[in-house]
C-alpha cells in the first residue's frame, strides 16, 4: 500500500467526520425526533455488528456469556460495571469450557 492510498483513506474518514459535525445543518422537524430516538438503537445495532464481526462469532458460548452478563447489569447504567460484568462472564465461560 502506498502513502497516497493511506492519505486517501484518511481523507474519506476525516471528511465524513467534518461533514457530520461542521458542514451538515442540525436535523430539522420530524427528522430531529427520529435522531433523538436513535442513540440507544444505534449502539445496540453496533453491539450486534461487533458480535458478528468478531473472530469467535455470535455462537461462541463465551461471547454469549459476556453479552448476557453485560445485559444483566445494564439497568444500572454504569459503563465500568457493564464492562466488568461482561468480561467476567467471558473469562468464566472461557475457563470452564
Partner 1 sequence: MSLAPSHGPRTSLVVAALPVALAIGVFGLVYGAAARPVIGPELAVLSSLVVFSGAAQFTMIALLAAGATTLGVLGGVGALALRHLPLGAVLRPRFRANRGRRALVSWFLIDETTGLALTRAEPVERTLAISGSLAYAAWVLGTIGGVAGASAAPVEPLAGALFPVLFVGLASLTARSRSDAGRALAAGAASLAVLLAWPAGGALAAIGVAVAVAAAGRAP
Burial 68-90 (b: 16+ CB within 10 A, else e): ebbeebeeeeeeeebeebbeebb
By the rule CB under 8 A, 95 interacts with partner 1: no
Nearer to partner 1, 21 or 96 (CB): 21
Nearer to partner 1, 40 or 96 (CB): 40
By the rule CB under 8 A, 92 interacts with partner 1: no
By the rule CB under 8 A, 80 interacts with partner 1: yes
Q: How far is CA 61 from the centre of its chain?
A: 20
Nearer to partner 1, 12 or 96 (CB): 12
Q: Among residue numbers 20 through 79, which ones bind partner 1 (CB under 8 A)?
A: 20-22, 24-27, 31-56, 58, 62-63, 66-67, 70-71, 74-79
Cβ at position 96, least distance to partner 1 in Å: 14
Amino acid at each position: 500500500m502506498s502513502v497516497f492510498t493511506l492519505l486517501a483513506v484518511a481523507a474519506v474518514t476525516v471528511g465524513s467526520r467534518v461533514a457530520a459535525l461542521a458542514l451538515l445543518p442540525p436535523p430539522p422537524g420530524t427528522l430531529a425526533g427520529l435522531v433523538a430516538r436513535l442513540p440507544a438503537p444505534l449502539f445496540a445495532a453496533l453491539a450486534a455488528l461487533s458480535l458478528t464481526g468478531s473472530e469467535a462469532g455470535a455462537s461462541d458460548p463465551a461471547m454469549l456469556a459476556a453479552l448476557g452478563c453485560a445485559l444483566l447489569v445494564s439497568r444500572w447504567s454504569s459503563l465500568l460495571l457493564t464492562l466488568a460484568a461482561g468480561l467476567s462472564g467471558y473469562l468464566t465461560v472461557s475457563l470452564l469450557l
